[in-house]
Structure 1
Amino acid sequence: MRNISTDDLFLAIRAGEIIESYPDDEPCPSALMLGFIRDHAYHVVLGICDDHLRVITAYMPDDEHWIDARTRREKE
């Protein structure tokens, strides 16, 4: 997961915000969160299961796919 420490990941999730929701994902609904680690924007995708959260991935949003940290570019 891109050399992100567990502590930093927890901070990004705790203070983050959900920017996209995927309620039909399997085996659990998931969400894309925006959080910050040392003033850098990170996206964290979480599986939201009945009895736990599952970190699917975490990454820095790039200019190719994102206009800014909250706005996805339209696919051409």
Structure 2
Amino acid sequence: MIDINKLREYANQHKLFMSQHASNRCEQRRITKEDIKNCILTGEIIEQYSGDFPWPSCLIFGYSADNKIIHVVASDSGEASKIITAYVPDTETFESDLKTRKEKKS
């Protein structure tokens, strides 16, 4: 299980890293590194992905630097965090609280 306080330590120690793919997607979505850091510092983990490879990851609900709701997917290597992606959540995938994933219809 990833601890949000550990991710906050990484954020404060400049140990958040992004792949080129994540950087490109965030640029397309107009989400900055400052937004991602703010989300981690103010947010909460809403889903855990303990089976992710090579490190466990989690989904964080938080706020951008200009106070908009965003989601950040981040991993914990034990020494740093790799940002996998960040996006603005929508009500097609999440309930109105933007924290609870909707059940998939069969």
Normalising by the residue count of structure 1, what TM-score does the alignment of the two structures yield?
Answer: 0.91
**Cα deviation per residue 1:46-68 (whole Å; 9 max; x = unaligned)?**
01112210000000111110113
- Aligned residue for 2:81? 53
Asked whether 1:18 is paired with 2:45, we answer yes
| Number of residue-to-residue matches in the alignment | 76
Q: How does 1:57-72 map to 2 (within 5 A)?
A: 57-67=85-95, 68-72=97-101
Select the structure that is richer in helix. 2
**Higher-Rg member (1/2):** 2
Q: Which runs of 5+ in 1 are unaligned?
A: none
**Residue in structure 2 matched with residue 44 of structure 1 by the alignment:** 72
SS at match of 1:71: coil
- Aligned residue identity for 1:70: K
Q: Which has the higher contact order (CA 8 A, sep 6+)?
A: 2
Secondary structure of residue in 2 paired with 1:49: coil
Structure 2: runs of 5 or more not aligned: 1-25
Tell me the CA shift for residue 39 of structure 1.
2.8
Are residue 33 (structure 1) and residue 60 (structure 2) matched? Answer: yes
User: How large is the Cα RMSD of the aligned pairs?
Assistant: 1.0
Q: Provide the secondary structure at the position in 1 that maps to 2:73.
A: strand
Residue type at the aligned position of 2:104? K
2:31 — aligned with what?
A: 4
